[in-house]
Structure 1
Amino acid sequence: MIFDKLQKTKNLTNTEEIIASFILNFPRIVVNISLEELSEQCHVSQASIIRLCKKFGVKGFSEFKVKLASELTSFALDGKMLSVDLPIPEGSSTEDIADTFYYLSMQSLEYEYKALNIADVKRAAQLIHNADITYIYGRGESLIIAEDLHYKLIRLGLTSVLESMNGFQEAQSFTIDKHSTISKVAIVISQYSNSHQVHYIIDELVTNNIPFILLTASKDSWPFDKLAKVTLRVHSTESRYKMGSFTSRNAMLYVLDCVFGELFNINYEKNRDNLFSFAKRKTERDYYYRKNDHI
C-alpha cells in the first residue's frame, strides 16, 4: 500500500523525504492537485516527484494519485483502517454501523466527483439522446443499477429496453436491416468486465454495429473499453470477497445520474413538461380511483 511505503521506506533521499512527508500530512490535497502544484508546494523538481512515484511501483504522478485516492476510501474518520470489502468490524454498535456506511458513501462520492470525466459524461448522454432505442445490460448487483437508469429513461418517455430475467439478456437477437432508420445504443454495466455473459453481449453489439457505453470499475477491461464508444470508469478497490458492493454501487449510480442529468438538460423544456404531464395524469387517476372505490 502507498501509505505503508511512504511511512516505512528507508532509502529515500532528502528531497524524497520532503515529498513523502507532505503527502502523508496532506493526502487529500495531493489527490486533487497537479504535478506542477505539488512541485511548488514542496519546493522540489517535478522529476523528483516522478522518481519517487516510480520507487513505489507506479508509472507516474497520475497513477500515484489514483492509488492514493483508492486507499483514502479505506480510512475511517478517526484514522483507523476501514476495509471496503468488510467495513464492519466484529462487535460494531448500531451507531458504528451507521457511521461506517455514511463514511463509505461520502468518500465514494467525493472521489468520483473529483475524478469525473466531464467530456465522457457529455458524450454518453449525447449517444443516448441521438438513439431511438437504448438497450441496457447488467447482471447481479449491476442489474440493480441498470434498473435504476431504465426507470429514469422511461419516465422521460424514452424507449429503453432492459431484460431483467437471468439468461434473457444473452438471448437478445438483433435483426440486421440495412434499410432501417431506427438508431440504437447500448449501455453495458459490469463491475469486473470479465464474464462470459459480458463478452457475449458485447460481441453481439459489435457484430450488429450498435455503439455501446461501458460502465465498469475494472482498471483493465481490454478489449471491451477499446470497442466501446465511451468508457465510464469508476474507482473502487472492492474485491470479489466482499460483504457487498457499497462503494462501487454508489460510484456507478452517481456517474449514471450525471449522464442522466446531462441527457435531461439537452432537451430540458420537453423533459420537464413530460414529467409534469406524467405527474398530472397520475394525480388525476388517483383522484378517479379514490372517488370510485365504493362502486
Structure 2
Amino acid sequence: MLIDQLEQQKNFTTTDKVLAEFTLEHIVEINNMTISELAKQTYTSKASIIRFCKKLGLAGYVEFQKVLLQESSETKRMTTLLNEEPINSKTTYNEVVTIVPSIYEKAISQTRLTLDKNQITRILNRLKHVTKLDIYGLGITNTIAQSAAFKFSTIGIEAEAHAGINEHYIIATRHKKNRIAILLSFTGTNSKLISIAKYLKRNGTYIIGIGERRQGVLYEYCDEYLEIYQKKLLLNMEMITAITATNYIIDILFISSLIDNYDDHTKNSIEVMKQKDQSLSDFDT
C-alpha cells in the first residue's frame, strides 16, 4: 500500500523523506494541491515529485493523489469500524465480563424485533406434524445445525444435521409427508446452500431459512424466512452476534415445540431420571 511505503521510507533519499513526511501529515490537503503547490510547500521541485511518484510505482502526481485518497478513505473507514468495536487493546477483564452479556443481549433484542408472531405460529403448526426435520449448515453454521438436531431429537422429532446435499437420501425418503428443512446462513448468499435450497424446493420440501436480511438469494427459495441481527464489526466480533441470534430463533422453535406436548415430555424426562438413578444404584451395588 502507498501509505505503508510512505511510512517505511525504504531506500528514500532526503528529498523523498521530506515529501513522505509532508504527505503523511497532510493527506487530506494534498488531494486539493497542485504539483506546483506541493513543491512550494516542501521546498522541492516538480521534477523531484515526479521522480518520487515513479519510485512508488505510480505513473505520476495525479495517480499519486488518486491512490492516496482511496487508501486514506479506506483507513478512515476502518478506524471508524474499530471505534465501534466494544473492545480495544486497553479493555480489562472486568469490562469483558460485562461486555459479553451486552453483546448477547443486543443480538437477541434486535432479532426479537424482526420476529413475526403469525409467521412463528405457521412454522410451529408445521413442526407439530413434521415427520422428518433436516437442518443444513456449512462451516460454523453446521455446528449450530448439529446442536439444533440434537435438541429436536430429544423431544421425539426425527432430526438430522447436514453439511451438504445427498440426492439419494432425499429421493429415497421423499415419500415422507410433512418434511421440513431448516437452512442456516448468516449472509443468505452462500452459493452451496442456495443450490441445496433449489434441490429441496424441486423435491417438495418445506423450507425454513434463518439468516441475515431478506434480500439474499436464499430468501427466494424459502417458504418461511426468519431474519437474524448481525452487526458489521471487525475482529470477528460479528460472528458472536450471528451465532447468538441464530441459536435464539432455534431455541424459540424448540421450546415452543416442547410446550405443545408438555405432559408427554415431562413423563419422558421423569422416566430418563428414574433410569439414571437405577443405573447409579446398580453400579453402587
- TM-score scaled by length of structure 1: 0.62
Distance 1:182 1:282, change over 3 A: farther
Structure 2 unaligned blocks of 5 or more: 1-79
**Which residue number in structure 1 is paired with residue 74 of structure 2?**
none
Q: CA–CA distance in 1 between the matches of 2:235 and 2:96? A: 20
Matched, 1:226 2:220: yes
Residue number among 167, 171, 177 corresponding to 1:175 in the alignment: 171
Map of 1:98-137 to 2, 5 A cutoff?
A: 98-137=97-136
Distance 1:127 1:240, change over 3 A: farther
1:147-193 deviation line (CA, Å, top 9, x unaligned) = 22111111112211113xxxx52335311678x35431111011012
- Aligned residue pairs total 205
> Alpha-carbon deviation of 1:143?
1.9
Amino acid at match of 2:273: A
Residue number among 182, 202, 205 corresponding to 2:200 in the alignment: 205
- TM-score scaled by length of structure 2: 0.64
Matched, 1:242 2:236: yes
CA contact (8 A) 2:229 2:245 kept: yes
CA contact (8 A) 1:156 1:271 kept: yes
Q: CA–CA distance in 1 between the matches of 2:245 and 2:158? A: 25
**Which residue number in structure 2 is paired with residue 263 of structure 1?**
257
Q: CA–CA distance in 2 between the matches of 1:185 and 1:133? A: 6
> Alpha-carbon deviation of 1:133?
0.7
**Which residue number in structure 1 is paired with residue 190 of structure 2?**
195
Q: CA–CA distance in 1 between the matches of 2:128 and 2:253? A: 11
CA contact (8 A) 2:114 2:227 kept: no
Q: CA–CA distance in 2 between the matches of 1:136 and 1:118? A: 22
Q: CA–CA distance in 2 between the matches of 1:258 and 1:195? A: 24
CA contact (8 A) 2:183 2:207 kept: yes
> Alpha-carbon deviation of 1:270?
1.8
CA contact (8 A) 2:130 2:157 kept: no
Amino acid at match of 1:280: K
CA contact (8 A) 2:182 2:210 kept: yes
Distance 1:155 1:176, change over 3 A: closer
Q: CA–CA distance in 2 between the matches of 1:262 and 1:214? A: 18
**Which residue number in structure 2 is paired with residue 16 of structure 1?**
none
1:216 partner SS: strand
CA contact (8 A) 2:108 2:248 kept: yes
> Alpha-carbon deviation of 1:209?
0.7
Matched, 1:160 2:147: no
Q: Tell me the percent identity.
A: 15
1:90 partner SS: coil
Q: CA–CA distance in 1 between the matches of 2:101 and 2:258? A: 28
**Which residue number in structure 1 is paired with residue 72 of structure 2?**
none
Q: CA–CA distance in 1 between the matches of 2:234 and 2:123? A: 28
Distance 1:116 1:218, change over 3 A: closer
Query: Which is helix-richer, 1 or 2?
Result: 2
- Higher RCO, Cα 8 Å, sep 6+: 1
